[in-house]
Structure 1
Amino acid sequence: MKTLTLLRHAKSSWDDSVARDFDRPLNAKGQRAAATMGRHMKSLGLAFDHVVASPARRVTETIDHVVAGYGETLAPDWDRRIYLASAATLLDIVRDLPDTHDRVLVVGHNPGLEDLVLLLVPDRTGDALRDGIEEKYPTASLAELTLETDRWADFAADAATLSRFVRPRDLDAALGPDQ
């Protein structure tokens, strides 16, 4: 079985006057959300044998804060293709993963991550997890997909099962939308 975990970067700061979107840092709420998600990942016993991530600053900072909560190092392979990637590009990246890895974490951006989940997971009536993602995939949210296969190349439309979707506000109401 292959397990694909998708983590959207935490909330970034629009107050920082950076020249490029790529260089936008996290804001304080995003830092707290990422650390909270890291603690939650640890409490669930999530483990990864491979991590691949966008090199954008808000992703690198998300990973740093997740690690602070998770308590273990995540040493990602930085892949520029993930920066603002479409679902199709992300699926290509997933399908090219070495089959020696069984539990992979991808850290990136929306709308690509959300669209990838909606592509891979069949739309079934009453699927509250998928419906939640279709409604919104907030910053610092985590989705876990599984597929009964030994090959990453087998990931295809409507082939995966969504086993988990966790938003920061599910863990701490203060990390939800600003009122």
Structure 2
Amino acid sequence: MATNAKPVINTADLSLEHWTKGKLFESRDTSFGKQLGLTNLGISYSEVPPGKSGCPFHNHHVEDELFYIIEGTGEYRFGEQRYPIKKGDVLGAPSGGPETAHQIINTGSTPLIYLGLSTKAKTEICEYPDSGKFLAKTNRDGGSFGHIGRGENTLDYWDGEPGL
């Protein structure tokens, strides 16, 4: 177990970061898998206010995600469908293409509180169907790499190579 890791954490003791982006995105949240000593499983706690979402509509090519609704009501946007969600619901977001894109939206009148669990891949590609973006990231010992871009910025494999 990692140094300073605890085998038990109460969500009431978590330090939450409050952030907002534009009119739709806002949350009080934190990731705390490392605090539990987890290295291959991510876990987060989120409190999303009414009318907001904690993330854009997206899909993962490698990592699976699961969400457990603790309190509140909302909507789970999954692929081309929308599902009402409430306390006690468990939501699956398997890896895949745009057909597994997902987003949780608080459509209720009280905060929507949920846990998110995910596998942790060394390398991941995410797509954002609403905005046409992609994220390429990798985590490795001693460093990481991440890039957000759009497909229309595609380069030829040989672009910029010396001697061409």
Measured against the shorter chain, the TM-score band is under 0.3
TM-score w.r.t. the length of structure 2 is 0.27
Higher CA-based Rg: 2
- Which has a greater percent of helix? 1
- Which has a greater percent of strand? 2
Structure having greater relative contact order (Cα 8 Å, sep ≥ 6): 1
